Amino acid sequence: MTGVHWYRRRWEESPGGDEDGWGHSTWLFETDVSGAVLRQIVAYDTGPSRRYDECHDEDDVGFLAQVALLPEEWRAYRITRADFEAVWRQL
């Protein structure tokens, strides 16, 4: 998996709409070398967690990111593959 990167970032904003009561969230991403998102997890503080990949790229709440993450802007949020996989397997 050369060139694959994993990130985790906290958002301190509620999603709004029907999901507003879910609270703030933590987002995890797996990207390819160009920054395209391959897998994504959204874990809300008091609501359900969501995960997206090429087989399940959207649902009634959200969707797999369509915009590439720029590695230089996300460097501070890098995590290990093991960290990402541990959360992915829980969902």
> Could you tell me the residue ranges of all domains in the chain?
5-90
Q: Please write the tens of the pLDDT for every residue from 55-91.
A: 999 999 899 999 999 989 999 999 999 999 999 999 8
- For the chain, the DSSP string reads -TT-EEEEEEE-S---GGGGGG--EEEEEEE-TT--EEEEEEEESSS-EEEE-SSS-B-SS-B---S---HHHHGGGEE-HHHHHHHHHH-
Task: Look at residue 18 in the predicted model and tell me its pLDDT.
Answer: 85
Record the pTM.
Answer: 0.93
Please report which confidence band the pLDDT of residue 39 belongs to, taking 50, 70 and 90 as the band edges: very high
Mean pLDDT calculated for residue range 10-31: 92
Task: Look at residue 12 in the predicted model and tell me its pLDDT.
Answer: 94
Mean pLDDT calculated for residue range 15-37: 93
